[in-house]
Structure 1
C-alpha cells in the first residue's frame, strides 16, 4: 500500500482531520471531488458557535477544543483567516446553553435595551470569525508542509481507497449519504447574500432552531455576509431571488444601512445534517483495513472541526 491514510473529503472537516494525522507523523493523502475553495465549507459564514449539532455533550467538548485552536490562530488573522470579533446572539439566554458555555470567556447577558433590532433578549460575545476561503487555503498549505497531498478525485466507494491505504477516513459530508450509505443524512440548504460592508464591525445572529429562516450578518474582509436559511431536505444549489431579498430585509431590520448596500454575489451550500448527530466511529474493511467515519456535522463543521479531527485521528491510529 502506497499511503498509510486516505481522507475522503476536502472540506474543513477533511482538511483538519488530514492535517491532524499528518502532524502525528502519518503519510496522508486527501481525495476531494471539488477544489478546496469550492467545497461546502468555503460557503460558510463562519462564526464559531455550537449551532444545530448533536450529540450535545460530545459536541460541546469538540467545540471547546476547536475554540482553543482558533484563539491561537487569531494571532495571525491574515495568514489563517481567523479573527476574534465581538457581536450579539439575539434570542439567546446564557442559562439555557449547555455546560460548554461556562468555558467560553466573556459571554454576557444583555439588557433589553442593549439588543439591536426588534429583539429583547441577547447575549454578547467575542468569538472566532473565520474567513473560510483564506482558512481552507491555510489548512491545505500547512497540510502539504507536513508532507500531505491533496488530490482532486471523485470517489464511488471506499474500497478503492482501501486498496491504497490501510486506513480510510470518511469526511465526505453529504456525500456519505451514498458512499456509506447512510439514509440518516439530509441536506439543510443555506443561502447567503454578499454585500459591500457599509461600516459594520460586529457580527449579529438571531437563529430560531425551529424556523427555516435565520437572520445574521458577519463582517468579513472585503464583504459583509448576510444570512440566511436552514431549509431541510432542499437540494437546490441556485440562489433564489425572493429568498435573497428576504434575507436583506431581515438584516436591515437590525442594521438599516444594510438595505442600501451593493450586492456583490450570492452563495448556496448544503449542510450535511444527520439523524442522531455526528458520526465518529471505526469499522473494519474487507482485507483488514480500517474505515473511520467523521461526518454529519450539519451547520457546525467549522465550530467542531479540530475536536472531531482529534477524535477521528485517535480511532485511525489506535
Structure 2
C-alpha cells in the first residue's frame, strides 16, 4: 500500500519533471499530477528549449549553477542514449552575439556547455552590428516531443494524471503533500503578486539548410534549428496577456532574423505560436505549510522560471524532490503508515 499521497499541480515541463523525480525516487508515494492543460496546449510546448539561461538576481549563484548542471547532465544522458529521438533532445552549436560588450563575458553556465569561447574578429564579421560574441555547443529539448515522453515515464513509475482545473489549494486537502508547479497560474492559485506574463511569439519555419543557432544577447531575436523545423523569434512583452498572433510581431521577427541570417527571407513559415512565460524576479523553489480544510498540509513550490524553464527544469525538480523528502521525514509516523 502506497502510504504518502502527493499531488503535483501543472503539466508543463516543470510539473512533469518534478512528478517524475518524485515518482521514481519515492516509490512509497502515490503521485497524482493534476492540470487543466496538457501537451500540446501548455506554455512549455512552444519553448525553443535551448540550454542557456539568464540568472535570478537574489538566488545564490551556486544554487543556480547546480540547477543548470543537474539539468544539463540529465539532458546530455538522454541525448547520448537510444531515447534521444523519442524524447526530442539534440546537441546544438552556435553563437550568442551582443551589440555591446556585456558586463559578464563568461556566464555561470559556461563551464557546463561544450567548447565555450569568445568569438574571433573574423567570426564576428558575419554580424556587423555586433561587437562581441560567444560560441559554444549546448543541448536543445523539443517539449512537444519531450512532454509526452516524460508523461510515459511518469506513468511507468506508477504516477496518475487527472485533467481538471484547480481553482484553489483547498480542493487538494485530501493529499498529504501538495507540489505547486502551476507557473503563471500561481498568480491566482497561491496569490503570488510577483507573477506576471512575459508574452512570447515565435514562428516555425522550413529552413533545413540552417544548422547553427544564433541568439542576440538581448534575448529578443533568435534562430534555433530543431529536428523538424527552425524556431525563429521572438518577443519579450512583460505584463502582456494577449494570446492572439500579432501580425506586426510576425513581420518584425522575420525582418530581424533575416538581418542575422539573410537566407531566412526564403524560408516557408509553417506555423506561428504565442505563449505567456511565467515571469517572476526569482524562481521560487521553497516549502511552506498551508491550512487546507482545517489540516496543516505542506506545500512545495516550484515555479516562476520565466523563459528558462526547460534549461533548469531537472535541477529545480531535484530541489523540489529534496523538499518533499524533508516534508515526509517530518511527518508524524502514523501519517506515513
TM-score range, shorter chain: over 0.9
1:96 paired with 2:105, answer yes
Q: With structure 1 as the length reference, what TM-score do the two structures score?
A: 0.93
3-state secondary structure, aligned to 1:107: strand
Is the 2:52–2:109 contact (alpha carbons within 8 Å) kept by the matching residues of 1?
A: no
- Deviation of residue 81 (structure 1)? 0.7
The total of aligned residue pairs comes to 312
Larger radius of gyration: 2
Is the 1:198–1:257 contact (alpha carbons within 8 Å) kept by the matching residues of 2?
A: no
Deviations 1:264-293 (A, max 9, x none): 110111111113x01111111221321111
| Equivalent residue for 2:49, pick from 46, 49, 52 | 46
- Deviation of residue 303 (structure 1)? 0.6
Please name the residue that 1:259 is paired with.
Answer: 265
> Structure 2: how far apart are the matches of 1:2 and 1:208?
48
> Structure 2: how far apart are the matches of 1:255 and 1:100?
26
Please name the residue that 2:335 is paired with.
Answer: none
| Equivalent residue for 2:304, pick from 286, 296, 300 | 296
- Deviation of residue 131 (structure 1)? 1.3
Is the 1:49–1:303 contact (alpha carbons within 8 Å) kept by the matching residues of 2?
A: yes
Please name the residue that 1:158 is paired with.
Answer: 169
Please name the residue that 1:315 is paired with.
Answer: 323
> Structure 1: how far apart are the matches of 2:200 and 2:54?
13
Is the 1:198–1:258 contact (alpha carbons within 8 Å) kept by the matching residues of 2?
A: no
> Structure 2: how far apart are the matches of 1:2 and 1:9?
22
Aligned ranges for residues 225-264 of structure 1 at < 5 Å?
A: 225-264=231-270
- Deviation of residue 79 (structure 1)? 1.6
3-state secondary structure, aligned to 1:96: coil
Please name the residue that 1:188 is paired with.
Answer: 198
Please name the residue that 1:77 is paired with.
Answer: 84
3-state secondary structure, aligned to 1:23: helix
Aligned ranges for residues 1-318 of structure 1 at < 5 Å?
A: 4-24=5-25, 25=27, 26-51=29-54, 53-54=56-57, 55=59, 57=61, 58-75=63-80, 76-91=83-98, 96-115=105-124, 116-118=126-128, 119-163=130-174, 165-208=175-218, 214-275=220-281, 277-286=282-291, 287-318=295-326
- Deviation of residue 51 (structure 1)? 2.7
Closer/same/farther in 2, CA of residues 124 and 36 from structure 1, 3 Å limit: same
Deviations 1:166-199 (A, max 9, x none): 0000000000000110101111111101111141
* CA-atom RMSD in angstroms: 1.8
3-state secondary structure, aligned to 1:201: coil
3-state secondary structure, aligned to 1:253: helix
> Structure 2: how far apart are the matches of 1:35 and 1:106?
36
Deviations 1:197-233 (A, max 9, x none): 1410111100316xxxx11111112211101111100
> Structure 1: how far apart are the matches of 2:60 and 2:111?
15
- Deviation of residue 96 (structure 1)? 2.8
3-state secondary structure, aligned to 2:49: coil
Which aligned runs of 4 or more in structure 1 are off by greater than 3 angstroms? 92-95, 97-100
